[in-house]
């Protein structure tokens, strides 16, 4: 009797993790390790912690040095094609200082 092939769809540990590039350090990291800044179709900019909001996204590591580098180079504004409001940048900086930040 032939052996059955293992089911990879049922086992989440065998699934591939989507990789995204941080705008600060330019390293490829798993999507779940990054914070997504999203420009909504209406033009508003906000943070997306679950990766489900519709719109154009840009990713930043949970590292303060990456955020500083991104702000200095205006990487998020360039990637999203809009000027980033100060409230969003303040919220992003607050997330970097939080328990998950470094």
- State the residue for tokens 């000027």: 83
Q: Who's near 90: CB < 8 A, 6+ residues apart?
A: none
Instruction: Give the whole-angstrom CA distance, residue 67 versus residue 22.
Output: 10
44 phi, psi to nearest 5 deg: -75, 150
pLDDT at residue 7, rounded to an integer: 58
Query: How is the chain split into domains, by residue range?
Result: 18-97
Average pLDDT, the chain: 85
User: For 14-64, what is each residue's pLDDT tens digit?
Assistant: 778 899 999 999 999 999 999 999 999 998 999 998 889 999 999 999 888
pLDDT at residue 69, rounded to an integer: 93
CA dihedral 47→99→34→46, nearest 10 degrees, is: 0
| CATH of 18-97 given 2.60.120.200, 3.50.50.60, 3.30.1230.10, 3.40.50.1820 | 3.30.1230.10
Looking at per-residue confidence, does 96 or 53 come out higher?
A: 53
pLDDT at residue 79, rounded to an integer: 94
E strand or H helix at 66: helix 64-73
Q: Is the pLDDT of residue 12 over 80?
A: no
Concatenated DSSP letters of 27-51: -EEEGGGEEEEEE-TTS-EEEESSS
């Amino acid at each position: 009797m032939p052996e059955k092939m293992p089911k990879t769809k049922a086992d989440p540990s065998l699934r591939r993790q989507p990789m995204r590039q941080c705008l600060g350090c330019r390293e490829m990291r798993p999507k779940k390790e990054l914070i997504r800044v999203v420009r909504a179709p209406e033009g508003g900019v906000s943070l997306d912690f679950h990766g489900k909001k519709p719109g154009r996204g840009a990713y930043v590591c949970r590292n303060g040095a990456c955020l500083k580098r991104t702000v200095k180079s205006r990487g998020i504004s360039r990637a999203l094609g809009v000027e980033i409001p100060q409230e969003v940048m303040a919220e992003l900086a607050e997330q970097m200082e939080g328990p998950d930040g470094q």
